[in-house]
């Protein structure tokens, strides 16, 4: 199935830093949803699997909305957009339209063949090329990030070099708002600002951060990997990383792609 996590998923040598500034994350950067278990998304997807880390600034205003997101490692960057509609029934029994997609999404191809993906951004840094998206003619406003569904060789030619710690976008909530669709411009690849007081998202601003190696035309992403080292240590109903603070209380396994300091804590991409 697309996005399925192979049992033999291999963690690459350490090469990543946390994609934020240390001064933003200290005492605030939290894994709100960790590997495999995603309780808040089960009503929408019916699936526990969550092959990524949702990172948010739990103690910051608006959960860090608008704070810079940085490249976790050197590579080649590009971006696209995705919005997939669905429904959500709130506690008052009101049904809302939900964006289950990625919203603004940046990918970085790294020289070791691995790819980092940065999802739900509020906007993308200037200079990173927009590779296009395809709108569903039957459902206006629903998009497929077709621009990034290309062979690695084509993506490397289309993207631009970025350095570890370089700003690639800003924390946001595109793709996770309900009761409306993002005001996305398919020509420019930009999303217009929205009123999050009148139209709150169903999830707070966060970075859905994922590491994978290769994409198969039929099977989707391959070797989606737990970069925090939780893989193989959780059950369908238990997630030890939910609510854990990175860089303060988070126990990082030796089986991780993070570069760590002398205390074994993951390092930030910039200071």
Largest Cα separation within the chain, whole Å, is 54
Q: Are 19 and 70 spatial neighbours (Cβ–Cβ below 8 Å)? A: yes
Domain boundaries along the sequence of the chain: 18-270
Summarised one tens digit per residue, pLDDT across range 40-60 is 666 666 666 677 888 999 888
pLDDT in tens, 56-109: 998 888 899 999 999 999 999 999 999 877 777 777 787 766 667 899 999 999
| Of 179 and 118, the one with more pLDDT | 118
pTM for this structure?
Answer: 0.89
Q: Token pair for residue 237?
A: 């109903």
Give the pLDDT band (50/70/90) at residue 2. very low
Q: Report the percent of the chain where pLDDT is more than 70.
A: 78
**CA 30 to CA 235: how far, in whole Å?**
21
CATH code for residues 18-270: 2.70.70.10
Using the predicted structure, report yes or no on whether residue 238 has a pLDDT greater than 90: no
For the ranges 98-102, 134-138, 146-150, the lowest mean pLDDT is seen at 98-102
Q: What are the C-alpha distances in Å from 123 to residues 12, 74, 109, 192?
A: 29, 20, 19, 9
**Mean pLDDT for the stretch of residues 103-123:** 96
Who wins on pLDDT, 199 or 180?
199
> For residue 241, what pLDDT band results from cuts at 50, 70 and 90?
low
Considering only 10-24, 80-94, 168-182, which range has the smallest mean pLDDT? 80-94
CB-based burial of residue 168 (10 Å sphere; 0-12 exposed, 13-18 middle, 19+ buried)?
A: buried
pLDDT of residue 97: 63
For residue 156, pLDDT over 90 is answered with yes
CA distance 132 to 147: 5
Q: Is 129 exposed, middle or buried (0-12, 13-18, 19+ CB in 10 A)?
A: middle
């Amino acid at each position: 199935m697309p996005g399925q996590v192979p049992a033999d998923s291999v963690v690459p040598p350490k090469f990543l830093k946390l994609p934020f500034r240390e001064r933003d994350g200290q005492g605030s950067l939290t894994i709100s949803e960790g590997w495999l278990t995603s309780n808040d998304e089960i009503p929408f997807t019916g699936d526990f699997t969550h092959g990524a880390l949702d990172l948010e600034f739990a103690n910051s205003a608006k959960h860090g909305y608008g704070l810079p997101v940085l490249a976790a490692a050197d590579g080649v960057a590009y971006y696209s957009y995705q919005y997939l509609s669905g429904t959500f029934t709130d506690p008052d029994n009101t049904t809302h339209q939900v964006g289950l997609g990625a919203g603004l999404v940046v990918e970085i191809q790294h020289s070791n063949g691995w790819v980092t993906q940065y999802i739900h951004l509020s906007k993308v840094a200037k200079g990173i090329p927009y590779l296009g998206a395809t709108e569903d003619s039957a459902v206006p406003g629903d998009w497929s990030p077709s621009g990034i569904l290309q062979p690695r060789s084509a993506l490397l030619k289309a993207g631009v070099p970025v350095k570890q710690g370089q700003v690639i976008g800003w924390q946001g909530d595109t793709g996770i708002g309900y009761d409306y669709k993002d005001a996305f411009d398919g020509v420019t690849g930009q999303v217009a600002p929205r009123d999050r007081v009148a139209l709150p998202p169903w999830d707070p601003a966060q970075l859905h951060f994922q590491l994978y190696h290769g994409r198969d035309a039929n099977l989707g992403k391959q070797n989606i990997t737990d970069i925090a080292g939780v893989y193989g240590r959780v059950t369908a109903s238990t997630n030890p990383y939910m609510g854990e603070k990175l860089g303060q209380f988070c126990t990082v396994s030796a089986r991780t792609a993070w570069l760590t300091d002398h205390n074994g804590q993951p390092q930030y991409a910039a200071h």
